[in-house]
Amino acid sequence: MSLSRRSFHSLSRLGLCLLLAGIGLGAQAQPGSTVYVSSEKDKKIYMFNAKGDRIGAIDTCERPRHMVFSLDKKTMYVCCGNSNELGIIDVATNKMVRTMELGESPEIFDFNSDQSTIYVSIEDDNVMAAYDMATGKELFTVATGGEPEGIYVTKDNKFAYVTSEVANVVHVIDLNSRKVVKDIKVGKRPRRFMPAANGTELWVSDELSNSVSIIDVAGQTVKHTVVFKVKGFRDSDVMPVGLVPSLDGKSMWVGLGRANHVAEVDVATRQVKQLVLAGQRAWGLDLSPDGKTLYVANGLSDDMTLIDVSSAKARPMRTVPVGRVPHSVLVSR
């Protein structure tokens, strides 16, 4: 059977449409990322889809804070500050399956490279504590300045960096000797860490100095300080806490606390590129897997702001309720 040129073109267009429709259906069938937000007052981790629609909640131990996935992404760990536990959550069933006892008021934690050891800042005991993940037993503690919070373990497992909110220092702990080998003076009330510049820098949020200190990892000294100013807010309201890098590592996003904004900082030049309005006390941050959406937990307005960061000028898209006193955001990848 022969086809006219017009019939051939019509069939070709039909085939192309069917192909594109199939591609579209396939894309819709792919599972999207899940956004997890810990609610300190509700004893829950709320779950959202990538668009910010709530899809569920996970009951946890008391006052859930910092969250981290296991290496295989099948388990989520959450620090619970009031029940002094590490909650262990099965991601497939969205249930907390067990807990591990920690010290008084655990805050932030990090693992060694194979996650066989967890290092936790224990605020009320003023120590960094190490625990065996297989047995749950405490391995050792290292004394710190008052109110330790942020913790970062180097990829070679040789050092742990720990902030002390009271002493205004970053402790450098040798994990082999289990001793503090250096104290690095930073701004007032240092809170969180984030590596940058291919791991050669460690950025530290200084909550009461409206700044971020940038530590040179090789020299273990502060080599630069980024100071934030937000029009209409006092410097005392500009309280940096959460940090997350862009996917390409060229920018660092910083939650500015009671200044109700997030800032984008150019990692190479240290310049603040833009400020974007969020909710009240913008705190915990994380990015979508494609790097196009920034999720911001707002601790005083009990909500989360979704910010489109796909172009040079970021813009808030949506703010959704997330329970009482949201602390941290974690996005599945």
pLDDT in tens, 170-181: 999 999 999 999
Q: Which residues contact 72 (CB under 8 A, 6 or more apart)?
A: none
Higher pLDDT, 88 or 31: 88
pTM over 0.85, yes/no: yes
Confidence band of 7 (pLDDT split at 50, 70, 90): very low
Q: Is the pLDDT of residue 250 over 70?
A: yes
pLDDT for residue 25: 30
To the nearest 10°, report the CA torsion of 160, 165, 170, 172: -40
> Tell me: the pLDDT tens digits for 22-74?
333 333 323 589 999 999 999 999 999 999 999 999 999 999 999 999 999 99
The whole-number pLDDT of residue 171 equals: 98
* Helices and strands of the chain, counted as H and E runs: 1, 28
Length of the chain measured in residues: 333
Residue 8 has pLDDT above 50, yes or no: no
Query: What does the block give as tokens for 315?
Result: 């813009």
- pLDDT tens by residue, 195-241: 999 999 999 999 999 999 999 999 999 999 999 999 999 999 999 99
pLDDT at 153: 98
**Which pLDDT band, with edges at 50, 70 and 90, does 167 fall under?**
very high
Dist. CA 263–CA 96, nearest whole Å = 34
pLDDT the model gives residue 32: 81
